[in-house]
Amino acid sequence: MVFALPLGRRPLDNQDEARYSLLAREAVERGHWILPRVRDEVYLNKPPLYFWTVAAFALPWGVVTDANAPLASVASALAGLLAVFAVACLLWGARAGLAAALVLATSPFYFFMAHQVLTDMMLTAWMTWALYFYLAAGRAHAPRWPLAGFYLCAAGGLASKGPAALMVLAAAAAASLAADGWGGLRRLRLPLGLGLIALTALPWLLPYLFQRERSYGRAVVMTDYLGWYFKSAVGSRVQAVAAHLARLLPWGVFVFPAAWWWTRERSGDRKRLLVWAATLIVLLSLSGEQRARYFLPLWPIFALLVDGGHRALPHINDRGGGLPPAEPRLGPRCRLPARGAVGALARGRVPGRRGGARSLAARPRRRWARGDRLDRRRARGRARRHGPRLSGAFRPGQ
């Protein structure tokens, strides 16, 4: 309800917002759903999924207005919050999910972009759900369905904004290499994933390719996409990136300390998330056109970093530095028998690489347990020694 409050209270003051609203109006009023048009001219610069969504939300009214045009972005923002909640629940639990969603929901720039009639919020939602399915695939023994969800989310982002959504493929490849090596990269099954993305893109891509009014390859792919990305930057890229990241306030002050704390723990999920974020930052900073809304897909990741760093603070204060160690995971190549593995875990030890063993973080708990057992043994010894005296002291008739 809070995200829906500004609906209908602001005009469409951006030329892109007005253009996208006109494209949706053409679909509602004239039935131009397959090939988007503005004033009887075909518009191929963006894929049609966002325009279709704006038009679908406007169908109950029969017309696209300033009040119902932002509904697609508001719904995408809520989907992004749900995705952040899902990622944090997957990594740390429901409380962490609520905290991460709250951090993202209270970010002013995220709230502002939730009411812009632009494709960036929908792209952000697709990319965040792609991150969730990617992390779920890393935890699954049979990652077929999580990987299918990951590639379908990439296809959804491609149908919303274009090739910018394919950044998730580069981020997933870099994160898998960093966390699992070449085996992790093979686990992604990139050829099958690219085929699935191409198959889902056919319904909107074929009409774009076979229309005869404009050349999609030359006028859009080469000029609008590649030319826009590789154009010379007007100012300093570093200053532009710093200015855009400053929009994360008030939570931005916690991002870099949280990222530093995260690097101090050897955890596959944390490494994947950090490399994912770093890859997106590098790819976005290389763009010749630096606009603040292009960095919006980083906001959910920053919310996760802030949430993870906040959770690490009590452990750092208690232990004098360092994050709580990750839960041990036996790799697929572990050939230990079940009884021996369970016994090793129960004793607080995980088999090492060469037959050795490395202790878990439960050493303090083991010491406390040993102390309790020692106290019980001493109490039983005292009872055996002094029990006869006490029982004789209270015999009846004495």
Return the percentage of the chain with pLDDT > 70, whole number.
68
pLDDT, tens only, 273-289: 989 999 998 998 888 77
Task: Report the distance separating Cα 149 and Cα 371, nearest Å.
Answer: 50
Which residues, 6+ apart, have CB-to-CB distance to 258 below 8 Å? 305, 306, 308, 309, 310, 312
What pLDDT does 343 receive? 41
Task: Report the distance separating Cα 139 and Cα 133, nearest Å.
Answer: 10
What pLDDT does 269 receive? 84
Structural domain total, the chain: 1
Average pLDDT score over residue span 93-99: 92
Average pLDDT score over residue span 14-28: 91
Q: Who has greater pLDDT, 312 or 242? A: 242
Q: Does 4 map to a domain?
A: no
Task: Report the distance separating Cα 48 and Cα 35, nearest Å.
Answer: 8
Average pLDDT score over residue span 357-376: 49
Average pLDDT score over residue span 102-118: 91
Q: Does 373 map to a domain?
A: no
Among 135-149, 209-223, 234-248, 261-275, the range scoring the smallest mean pLDDT is 234-248
Q: Does 65 score more than 70 pLDDT?
A: yes
Q: Does 377 map to a domain?
A: no
pLDDT band at 340 (very low <50, low <70, confident <90, very high): very low
What pLDDT does 227 receive? 74
Q: Does 398 score more than 60 pLDDT?
A: no
Are the beta carbons of 60 and 101 closer than 8 angstroms?
A: no
Q: Does 292 map to a domain?
A: yes
What pLDDT does 261 receive? 67
* 221, 123, 153, 75: CA torsion to nearest 10: -140
Task: State the average pLDDT for the chain.
Answer: 78
pLDDT, tens only, 170-221: 999 999 999 889 998 999 999 999 999 999 999 999 999 998 888 888 878 8
What pLDDT does 7 receive? 64
Q: Does 302 map to a domain?
A: yes
Domain hosting 207: range is 120-318
Q: Does 240 map to a domain?
A: yes
Q: Does 263 score more than 80 pLDDT?
A: no
State how far the alpha carbon of 184 is from the alpha carbons of 181, 272, 363, in Å: 5, 11, 32
What pLDDT does 193 receive? 96
Q: Return phi, psi of residue 358, to 5°.
A: -120, 135
Q: Does 130 score more than 80 pLDDT?
A: yes
Neighbours of 157 (CB within 10 A): 30
Among 36-50, 70-84, 148-162, 226-240, the range scoring the smallest mean pLDDT is 226-240
Average pLDDT score over residue span 8-13: 70
Residue linked to tokens 């050939």:
335
Q: Who has greater pLDDT, 167 or 251? A: 167
Q: Does 219 map to a domain?
A: yes
Return left, alpha or beta for 266; rule: phi > 0 is left, psi -120 to 50 is alpha, else beta.
beta
Q: Does 135 score more than 90 pLDDT?
A: yes
Q: How far is CA 319 from the centre of its chain?
A: 29
Q: Does 64 map to a domain?
A: no
Task: Report the distance separating Cα 398 and Cα 43, nearest Å.
Answer: 109
SS3 (DSSP) at 151: helix
Among 61-65, 67-71, 253-257, 382-386, the range scoring the smallest mean pLDDT is 382-386
Give the type of residue at 304.
L
What pLDDT does 376 receive? 62
Measured at the CA of 159, the angle between CA 50 and CA 281, to 5 degrees, comes to: 95
